[in-house]
Amino acid sequence: MSLKRNVNLFSALRYKGYGPMLAYLLHRIAGIGLFIFLTTYILALAGVGFIYTLYANWLFQVLVLFCVLFHAINGLRITILDLWPNLIHYQRQVIRVEWFVFVAVYGFAVFVITRTALGG
Protein backbone atom coordinates (compact mmCIF):
# COMPACT_ATOMS: atom_id res chain seq x y z
CA MET A 1 0.00 0.00 0.00
CA SER A 2 2.93 2.37 0.37
CA LEU A 3 4.17 3.58 -2.98
CA LYS A 4 7.39 5.61 -2.85
CA ARG A 5 7.57 7.83 -5.93
CA ASN A 6 11.24 8.65 -6.55
CA VAL A 7 10.72 9.92 -10.10
CA ASN A 8 9.84 13.57 -10.59
CA LEU A 9 7.83 14.85 -13.55
CA PHE A 10 10.88 16.11 -15.48
CA SER A 11 12.64 12.75 -15.19
CA ALA A 12 9.46 10.97 -16.20
CA LEU A 13 9.13 13.11 -19.33
CA ARG A 14 12.74 12.31 -20.28
CA TYR A 15 12.20 8.56 -19.90
CA LYS A 16 12.72 6.91 -23.26
CA GLY A 17 10.08 4.21 -23.19
CA TYR A 18 9.26 4.69 -26.89
CA GLY A 19 6.24 2.77 -28.28
CA PRO A 20 5.05 0.90 -25.16
CA MET A 21 5.44 4.01 -22.98
CA LEU A 22 3.58 6.17 -25.52
CA ALA A 23 0.76 3.59 -25.72
CA TYR A 24 0.61 3.46 -21.90
CA LEU A 25 0.39 7.26 -21.61
CA LEU A 26 -2.17 7.65 -24.40
CA HIS A 27 -4.27 4.83 -22.93
CA ARG A 28 -4.48 6.67 -19.61
CA ILE A 29 -5.13 10.07 -21.21
CA ALA A 30 -7.83 8.59 -23.47
CA GLY A 31 -9.33 6.76 -20.49
CA ILE A 32 -9.58 9.96 -18.47
CA GLY A 33 -11.07 11.69 -21.52
CA LEU A 34 -13.71 8.97 -21.81
CA PHE A 35 -14.46 9.15 -18.10
CA ILE A 36 -15.09 12.91 -18.42
CA PHE A 37 -17.18 12.28 -21.54
CA LEU A 38 -19.29 9.64 -19.77
CA THR A 39 -19.86 11.99 -16.82
CA THR A 40 -20.98 14.86 -19.05
CA TYR A 41 -23.08 12.40 -21.06
CA ILE A 42 -24.97 11.34 -17.94
CA LEU A 43 -25.39 15.02 -17.01
CA ALA A 44 -26.79 15.65 -20.49
CA LEU A 45 -29.21 12.74 -20.05
CA ALA A 46 -30.26 14.30 -16.74
CA GLY A 47 -31.21 17.49 -18.57
CA VAL A 48 -28.14 19.76 -18.51
CA GLY A 49 -28.81 21.18 -21.95
CA PHE A 50 -25.72 23.21 -22.88
CA ILE A 51 -23.62 20.02 -23.14
CA TYR A 52 -25.41 19.12 -26.39
CA THR A 53 -23.94 22.26 -27.98
CA LEU A 54 -20.50 20.89 -27.16
CA TYR A 55 -21.37 17.46 -28.59
CA ALA A 56 -22.50 19.04 -31.86
CA ASN A 57 -19.03 20.53 -32.42
CA TRP A 58 -17.13 18.37 -34.94
CA LEU A 59 -13.77 19.10 -33.29
CA PHE A 60 -15.13 17.65 -30.06
CA GLN A 61 -16.37 14.60 -31.97
CA VAL A 62 -12.92 14.07 -33.50
CA LEU A 63 -11.36 14.29 -30.02
CA VAL A 64 -13.85 11.88 -28.44
CA LEU A 65 -13.41 9.48 -31.33
CA PHE A 66 -9.64 9.50 -30.76
CA CYS A 67 -10.20 8.60 -27.10
CA VAL A 68 -12.73 5.87 -27.92
CA LEU A 69 -10.77 4.22 -30.73
CA PHE A 70 -7.33 4.41 -29.17
CA HIS A 71 -8.57 3.20 -25.79
CA ALA A 72 -10.53 0.35 -27.43
CA ILE A 73 -7.77 -0.83 -29.78
CA ASN A 74 -4.98 -0.47 -27.20
CA GLY A 75 -7.19 -2.11 -24.57
CA LEU A 76 -7.69 -5.08 -26.89
CA ARG A 77 -3.90 -5.38 -27.24
CA ILE A 78 -3.46 -5.26 -23.45
CA THR A 79 -6.17 -7.87 -22.91
CA ILE A 80 -4.70 -10.21 -25.52
CA LEU A 81 -1.18 -9.88 -24.08
CA ASP A 82 -2.45 -10.38 -20.53
CA LEU A 83 -4.50 -13.46 -21.34
CA TRP A 84 -1.74 -14.99 -23.49
CA PRO A 85 1.45 -13.87 -21.67
CA ASN A 86 3.81 -15.64 -24.07
CA LEU A 87 2.93 -13.05 -26.70
CA ILE A 88 4.66 -10.38 -24.59
CA HIS A 89 7.91 -11.18 -26.45
CA TYR A 90 6.29 -9.73 -29.58
CA GLN A 91 5.02 -6.63 -27.81
CA ARG A 92 6.66 -4.09 -30.11
CA GLN A 93 5.41 -5.84 -33.25
CA VAL A 94 1.91 -5.98 -31.77
CA ILE A 95 2.08 -2.24 -31.04
CA ARG A 96 3.02 -1.58 -34.66
CA VAL A 97 -0.02 -3.59 -35.80
CA GLU A 98 -2.14 -1.67 -33.31
CA TRP A 99 -1.00 1.70 -34.71
CA PHE A 100 -1.63 0.52 -38.26
CA VAL A 101 -5.21 -0.50 -37.39
CA PHE A 102 -5.79 2.68 -35.39
CA VAL A 103 -4.54 5.04 -38.11
CA ALA A 104 -6.65 3.28 -40.75
CA VAL A 105 -9.89 3.28 -38.73
CA TYR A 106 -9.41 6.70 -37.16
CA GLY A 107 -8.32 8.26 -40.45
CA PHE A 108 -11.46 7.01 -42.18
CA ALA A 109 -13.68 8.19 -39.29
CA VAL A 110 -12.09 11.67 -39.21
CA PHE A 111 -12.50 11.91 -42.98
CA VAL A 112 -16.23 11.09 -42.68
CA ILE A 113 -16.76 13.54 -39.79
CA THR A 114 -14.90 16.46 -41.36
CA ARG A 115 -16.49 15.89 -44.76
CA THR A 116 -19.95 15.96 -43.13
CA ALA A 117 -19.03 18.99 -40.98
CA LEU A 118 -17.65 20.96 -43.91
CA GLY A 119 -20.73 20.15 -45.98
CA GLY A 120 -19.03 17.82 -48.46
CB of 110 vs another protein, minimal distance in Å: 13
Cα 38 to Cα 31, 68, 117, distances in angstroms = 10, 11, 23
CB of 109 vs another protein, minimal distance in Å: 9
Q: What is the secondary structure of 21-80 as a DSSP string?
A: HHHHHHHHHHHHHHHHHHHHHHHHHTT-TTHHHHHH-HHHHHHHHHHHHHHHHHHHHHHH
Query: Which of 69, 64, 57, 61 has its CA nearest to residue 36?
Result: 64
Q: Segment 38-97, which members bind another protein (CB under 8 A)? A: 38-39, 42, 45-46, 72, 75-76, 78-79, 82-83, 85-86, 88-89
Residue nearer to another protein on the CB measure, 3 or 14: 3
Which of 18, 35, 55, 58 touches another protein (CB under 8 A)? 35
Is there binding between residue 28 and another protein (CB under 8 A)? yes
Half-sphere exposure for 70 (CA within 13 Å, toward CB):
22
List interacting residues with another protein (CB under 8 A).
1-5, 28, 31-32, 34-35, 38-39, 42, 45-46, 72, 75-76, 78-79, 82-83, 85-86, 88-89, 112, 116
